[in-house]
Structure 1
């Protein structure tokens, strides 16, 4: 009887270990896929940042040729954004 009980316990442990291994492997694959996605996203972001820097340089050059003060324009935009944010905050509180 003791040998049968031990064999059943070993069989149950073996089944549990197999299920655990499958879960761990599944999680490992998910983590790898997520890591790949993060790497791709970082590459895309780097490309967008490069393009944005190029566009900003072009806009600043065109603005300088036309006598536009880029910093003053940015300050105006920032003031407008801050005012909009304050208005939304006041609306949310009401």
Structure 2
């Protein structure tokens, strides 16, 4: 079980990034959350298998088709045992 925090910067708000991220995460059985940040970035936390967490990190590097991701910041964290995946406001 891994936990990874990913912050995507660029044109990432207002392009369905959070909804598509949730769909991708749920499809892979990942737990966690995604939210818009006040600084214009999108931040997400994923918990699950290494393969699935890696796949979502890779997805965050481009996001949905309308997004333009300029930069991604990634950090490893200690898993908390989250259940489900939510969009936070």
* TM-score, shorter chain, exceeding 0.5: no
Q: Provide the TM-score with structure 1 as the length reference.
A: 0.23
Q: Report the structure, 1 or 2, having the larger strand content.
A: 2
Q: Report the structure, 1 or 2, having the larger helix content.
A: 1
- Which is higher, the Rg of structure 1 or of structure 2? 1
